[in-house]
Chain A
Amino acid sequence: MEKKTGVFEGNKKYYYIGGAAAAVLAVLLFFLLRSTLSNQIALPYIAHQKPRVDPHLPDAVALSDKLDEVVFDGLFNISANPSGITYEDGLGELIGIDENDVVTVRLKPKKLWHNSFLLTGEDGDITVSEAEKIYFTEKDLRFTLRRIEKLGSLSPDYILVSQALKQLDFEGPDANNEIHFQFKQDRIWTEADIKEVLSFKILPYESDINASHYPIGTGPYATIHPKEEVSDYYANPTAGVTIPYLSLKPFIDNSTFITEFKNNNINVLLSTPFGAMSPLLEDPEDYFYKSNISTTFFVLLFNTERLNITQRKALRSMIDQRVLINRFFKVGTEQQRHITDYKGNKDNYADYLNYSIFPSSTYYVDEEIVMPVKQIPPEDLSVLPDTIRVQVCLNYGHREELSELAEILNDRSLFKRTIKVTAVQNEDLKKGNYDTVLLAFSGYKSNFLFDLYSIFMREPDLATYKINLKVNPDGSVNPATWRGDNNFCRLSTAGGNDDPQAVLKLLDYMHGFMSSREIGDKQAYARFIDEMEYDMALGKWLFSLPSLAYFSTQFDAASIDLYGVASQLSTIEKWRERED
């Protein structure tokens, strides 16, 4: 007798098959259509804040300085391992130091400049072919030292190198390709000291000494499109890099960084909004994070043309940055933004509060070279205008954070006077129509080389990074450096609301601080500047932003070592993908 089945029964099998096929297709589509970042490191940047790669000058865009480590080598390169900082041979090999403090370095003769290779292709599909081999020679080193010397105090490298070398030059090379540096004979130079001093990045000698950026190096990654302002990078064939491709992904602002990271459009996020841990990135199966020291701080710089010293002091006393930070991180609320630091501390918000020009994370505060006044005595607020006008530009980084801060400052319940924060265009800042300007300073260094020029001498134009330092032939600072409209505080040595002599003195101290290669001088000037700024009340130093980097678990966490103040990308050539 024949067994009959129903329609459903009959079609049931097809339904199952169809369903399964659809599921497989969906999975296939998911994997096929999802962004794949295999064999590459993808970093975000804000499209209109292009990183400008110059290994000898700091830049307002934090990524710029981080990329220095990617593109360039020094004679020796600073790296890190789980135990801390290490120094590795770069373009040189340390032979030794003699009793007269002459340091002998053998230049590595087979190091090739990136333009020895032709990189063609797009989106990671890069073909490497050989071009004319251009070797690193002593000419490149000599050119680099000349450039560093020319930059003077604008370049942190100048401070570091000139504190050790009698002259920014060397003898040689000899037949063994060895060169000799005459180090100063006032200390015992350890191998680490020598390598630290000689870790400045080296440029090819045919470079323009005044170029806006430098694409050609000998470092682990070569610029794929050297002629473009921003380029992706491909592994230097001679560098032994495991992850061949480094791409820079442009975005409107940092508000979407988390989403893009989540969507696998980027796989490394060197800083998170608010410096906080993200609930979206909690899954350790997909992400891991690493902290290091803060590199961004927020400040309200006072307009000295609009507020006299009494008013500035009153305004400074009126704003309590502890209130601000608690609101900023929504402390005690369900939406609290949690933070962690490289030491393992959690939610230690108070550690990020600043009380001085020198952020609390810096050596100068940490080592108590300066001891800022934390409890500012109350001032007579009646001297203040009814409304404190604050301007902020949200278009040049940290949009999220600055918006949040503006909102907090605008909360009339928090302060005894009305603060009115207005978001303005970059061009409006130049006009100085503010009592105070809210700014985020990125990429600051917490070591000896904390940069005051970028705070007080930067042209009030967030689209560019221009330092208005003028130096006299005798090396002293020219008073024309501060002209009122060429800095955020509208400081002028010609007069204004402040004693010109005091302003001049402050300028002299700042230049002394920045140009000195002596620790003692740095410390002394730091104290003088801290004390003087406290007396002159040039700003309200709010707090620093925790520095937290997220990585996709595509990477082997053990291969990524970040340590303290070391650059986040200083060990990029060692990063490798996880092997499951």
Chain B
Amino acid sequence: MKLRGIFLIVILFAAGCATFKELTPKPEIVFEENGYLQIRDDDENFELEPGKKYFVKFPPPLSGNIYLVLSVENESSLTTYLTDRFDDGEDVGRQYPNLNPDASGPDVYAIEPGVQSYFWVIENVAGEMKLGMTYRYIAAWRYKFENRYEEFLNVLRENSHDRTIYEGIGSSILAKDIDYEGELAALHAKYQQLETIHGQLNEIKDILPAHILDSDDASYRDYVKLKNDLENEMAFQNDYRSTLELLDASLKAERNMSAFVDNLSQYVQYFDQSAAYPANVLAETKKQVGNRLDDIYEYYDALIKNKTDVTPIDYDAGNLGKLFAACDKSVPADVKKLESFISKYNERANQLIDARSGLAEIKSSVSKAGKWPGNSFYTGILSKLAKLQYRIPRAGTRDFEEYRGTTCVKNLNAEINKLKRDANRRAGQYRRAEALVPSINTLKEQNGYRDIIRLLRENTDLSFLIAQYPDIDKRSLNQQTKSIDAAMRRSNWAAAEKGLRDLFNDKYFFNLKKITKTKIKLVAAYEDTMANRITRSTLGNARKFISENLTTTGDMDAVYANPALQPVYEMTFSSRGKSILAKHKQKLFGKLDQLRYIEFPEKAIKKLYSALTADVTDNGVARARAIVGHGKYYKGSDKKIKKIIGECDPTASKWLTKPKTYRKIFALPITSNLQGENEYMFKINLRLPSEARFPVFDVNIRLPKEIAEDAGNRRWYEKMMMNKKLLKNEGRFTITAPTAANGYECQITPLQVVKDGDSVLEVRFKHKSFKVFEISVMAQRPIMKKN
């Protein structure tokens, strides 16, 4: 009991919390086509409170094409819409559009079966009110037809045309008295209005339910009658308009036979429908057209006699015959003769056109055949031409009887003969071409372009053939350049250069003037290519050689004299003169010299020096001498490289520029006794900054133990010279002996140097070895002391 009470409270609370209130009419709303029904809450209208929201459920229809019509009093006080899904406003389906364009009228919604319910939602109530509302389910066709029935009737009535004239033609009304323009305009306007409502009625027809077709439904009966009346009026207006148009055209042909002839098909078409027209109308139209047919012969006879061209004569014999019959007339004899001539003439004229066209096609096929035709190309062309010649009509006037003397007949014969001559001339040319092409193709295989040029030069009248070899000069050029290129690929530079020179001097071309510019350009390009290839080949050889000889020691002069470091060929020809030749050489030697006099020595020196400094005892002298050997050829400006060369050259003085800093130098043998005693030398250029006008320095030479260890018994050096003046250990300066106690350091002090000039201290000593010694040298300014 308690639980139920709680459940009830929850339900009530939930209901009290709902946003929209459902209005549940009594009697309830049902789907039926039964006019307007009231929505009531028993006997009263629902009371709506301002600010509150409501909705009403409508059942769906049972079939398609149904409208729901809702009529609400004071609807402007409400904000409403119809939707097919509504979950207390939480999940709202699409809002259906109101199909009624009249805002003051009821709301009309097209609804379909298959929906659970439709919801008419009151989103807002402007003020307290009672809901006065009716609803109606109605078939769509009915709603559309019933609502516009009166309108349809009015349109039909207003656009029905007066039939007086039509019915009076040929009797009370003469054809010439009719206002064709006004009548046709009025008919046109009215027919358009009728066509509009005819379309709308057909739309309603498409939505008629099946069951209505056999029913006595009043609205349906009205619909059927209205539609029949409308279609009857429209058929009348069509017939009337056709009659007016024919009469108007035939009357106008009295002054313009050409226009009459042009409209023959219209007349034939009208008379094909003769059953649709009343007798008066048909009689009048036959009369009017028949009158024109009487002038046909004169018209065409004059036309033939005045004709000068050879085109076929435009004569509609079929329609003329039908028209004579429709107008109840037989074809006159002169018209039949006329038709016979026109038939023969047109046959021959058409044959001429056909043959002409065929010859043009052959010519076109020749011109479009492309370059360098195959051997059988002209055989095929000749075959086609032979067939064409057969199709050329024969000339002659005999068949044209009384018209054989007319200009058009004469001209036709002349054109036929001309075409024959053209075909014959072409045949002769094609036969020559047929003979030449295989020879040309054979020469082509043999790269005999110069012979092909000769052949073409001998047959310059065969312009179509010449045109098929537009690139003969170019091919001749190419053939020569290929030879040059091949020679270059074989590195046969002399042959390549000869080819270039020959090509430059070659004047034998089909169109020399035209090809000369290209040839000159080509020769220049190949010159450049050859120069580039020579450079590339030369540099390639040099690079390979260099990479293989970076660590080579020994006779460096021989290394640098190796052919691999020389140009593979030196060009002697240039079509552009000596300056270009010089430029090529300059480029070649520029790069080669860069390689052999800069890159090679730089790389080799770096590598050799790296190996030397890594272990001076390992082939040190050879490496140092190789570095010096490279140095002889080095033309670069890399100070580091030059320094290395200097370091390894015993005859080069090593600059000592920083005071008090020991500088490591190499002492190298200047003799080459591999097993015995050698003389060594090193030179130091004292280029130390000094404020003194007559600078002096203490020079310390730190010697390897090997050199200095016996200095106590034997002077370690042979001689020391300063700027080539012998230094003696006496007088103003002292040469101290290197001893183990002083770390084998020899000091020369004070050594007078040349201010801002070279002060080269040269030291020579002998030692029983053949190796590189590392010696450290330092110089510093001596100071004065009091004591």
Tell whether, in the assembled complex, residue B695 and residue A518 are in contact, meaning their CB atoms are under 8 Å apart.
yes
Tell whether, in the assembled complex, residue A186 and residue B732 are in contact, meaning their CB atoms are under 8 Å apart.
no
State in angstroms the CA–CA spacing of A159 and B691 once bound together.
Answer: 14
Residue from A187, A371, A449 in contact with B783 in the complex, judged by beta carbons closer than 8 Å: A187
State in angstroms the CA–CA spacing of A187 and B780 once bound together.
Answer: 5
Known: A187-B659, A369-B732. Is A521-B784 also a contact (CB below 8 A)? no
Known: A186-B688, A518-B691, A518-B694. Is A523-B732 also a contact (CB below 8 A)? yes
Tell whether, in the assembled complex, residue A367 and residue B731 are in contact, meaning their CB atoms are under 8 Å apart.
yes
Interface residues of A in 373-397 (CB under 8 A from B): none
Tell whether, in the assembled complex, residue B786 and residue A520 are in contact, meaning their CB atoms are under 8 Å apart.
no
With a CB–CB cut-off of 8 A, which chain A residues contact B782?
A: 187, 519
Residue from A160, A367, A520, A523 in contact with B690 in the complex, judged by beta carbons closer than 8 Å: A520
Tell whether, in the assembled complex, residue B783 and residue A520 are in contact, meaning their CB atoms are under 8 Å apart.
no
Q: Is A564 close to B, CB under 8 A?
A: yes
Closest to A78 in B: B787
- Give chain A's interface secondary structure class: loop
Residue from B659, B696, B731, B786 in contact with A519 in the complex, judged by beta carbons closer than 8 Å: B696
Interface residues of B in 2-61 (CB under 8 A from A): none
Residue from A184, A369, A447, A521 in contact with B786 in the complex, judged by beta carbons closer than 8 Å: A447
Interface residues of B in 635-665 (CB under 8 A from A): 659-660
Taking the nearest CB of chain B, how far is it from the CB of A195, in angstroms? 11
Known: A186-B688, A186-B780, A188-B780. Is A521-B787 also a contact (CB below 8 A)? no
Tell whether, in the assembled complex, residue A160 and residue B784 are in contact, meaning their CB atoms are under 8 Å apart.
yes
State in angstroms the CA–CA spacing of A156 and B695 once bound together.
Answer: 20
Interface residues of A in 206-260 (CB under 8 A from B): none
Taking the nearest CB of chain B, how far is it from the CB of A444, in angstroms? 13
Interface residues of A in 430-453 (CB under 8 A from B): 445, 447-449
Q: Is B750 close to A, CB under 8 A?
A: yes
- A508-521, CB under 8 A of B: which get 1 and which 0? 00001000111111
Residue from A159, A187, A564 in contact with B787 in the complex, judged by beta carbons closer than 8 Å: A564
Tell whether, in the assembled complex, residue A85 and residue B691 are in contact, meaning their CB atoms are under 8 Å apart.
no
Closest to A528 in B: B694
Known: A368-B732, A519-B750. Is A448-B785 also a contact (CB below 8 A)? yes
Which residue, of A156, A159, A447, A523, has the highest number of chain B Cβ atoms within 10 A? A523
Taking the nearest CB of chain A, how far is it from the CB of B32, in angstroms? 116
Q: Is A52 close to B, CB under 8 A?
A: no
State in angstroms the CA–CA spacing of A531 and B637 once bound together.
Answer: 47
Which residue, of A193, A371, A524, A565, has the highest number of chain B Cβ atoms within 10 A? A524
With a CB–CB cut-off of 8 A, which chain B residues contact A512?
A: 693
Interface residues of B in 123-158 (CB under 8 A from A): none
Tell whether, in the assembled complex, residue B660 and residue A163 are in contact, meaning their CB atoms are under 8 Å apart.
no
Tell whether, in the assembled complex, residue A523 and residue B783 are in contact, meaning their CB atoms are under 8 Å apart.
no
Known: A368-B732, A447-B786. Is A520-B780 also a contact (CB below 8 A)? no
Q: Is A337 close to B, CB under 8 A?
A: no
- B674-702, CB under 8 A of A: which get 1 and which 0? 00000000000000111111111010000
With a CB–CB cut-off of 8 A, which chain A residues contact B781?
A: 184, 186-187, 518-519
Q: Is B177 close to A, CB under 8 A?
A: no
Taking the nearest CB of chain B, how far is it from the CB of A407, in angstroms? 37
Tell whether, in the assembled complex, residue B786 and residue A523 are in contact, meaning their CB atoms are under 8 Å apart.
no
Taking the nearest CB of chain B, how far is it from the CB of A184, in angstroms? 8
Q: Is B346 close to A, CB under 8 A?
A: no
With a CB–CB cut-off of 8 A, which chain A residues contact B785?
A: 160, 196, 447-448
Q: Is B752 close to A, CB under 8 A?
A: yes
Q: Is A566 close to B, CB under 8 A?
A: yes
Tell whether, in the assembled complex, residue A185 and residue B660 are in contact, meaning their CB atoms are under 8 Å apart.
yes
- B765-785, CB under 8 A of A: which get 1 and which 0? 000000000000010111111
Interface residues of A in 163-210 (CB under 8 A from B): 163-164, 184-188, 193, 196-197, 199
Taking the nearest CB of chain B, how far is it from the CB of A199, in angstroms? 7
Tell whether, in the assembled complex, residue B694 and residue A163 are in contact, meaning their CB atoms are under 8 Å apart.
no
Tell whether, in the assembled complex, residue B659 and residue A196 are in contact, meaning their CB atoms are under 8 Å apart.
no
Taking the nearest CB of chain B, how far is it from the CB of A547, in angstroms? 15
Which residue, of A188, A196, A518, has the highest number of chain B Cβ atoms within 10 A? A518
Taking the nearest CB of chain B, how far is it from the CB of A29, in angstroms? 47
Tell whether, in the assembled complex, residue A185 and residue B784 are in contact, meaning their CB atoms are under 8 Å apart.
no
Tell whether, in the assembled complex, residue B783 and residue A521 are in contact, meaning their CB atoms are under 8 Å apart.
no
Tell whether, in the assembled complex, residue A160 and residue B660 are in contact, meaning their CB atoms are under 8 Å apart.
no
Tell whether, in the assembled complex, residue A519 and residue B784 are in contact, meaning their CB atoms are under 8 Å apart.
yes
State in angstroms the CA–CA spacing of A267 and B351 once bound together.
Answer: 165
State in angstroms the CA–CA spacing of A572 and B745 once bound together.
Answer: 38
* Apart from the given pairs A186-B660, A518-B694, A525-B694, 10 other A-B contacts in the complex at a CB distance below 8 Å: A186-B690, A188-B660, A197-B783, A199-B786, A447-B786, A519-B781, A519-B782, A520-B752, A521-B694, A522-B784
With a CB–CB cut-off of 8 A, which chain B residues contact A517?
A: 784
Q: Is B87 close to A, CB under 8 A?
A: no
Tell whether, in the assembled complex, residue B731 and residue A523 are in contact, meaning their CB atoms are under 8 Å apart.
no
Interface residues of A in 529-580 (CB under 8 A from B): 563-566
State in angstroms the CA–CA spacing of A578 and B522 once bound together.
Answer: 115
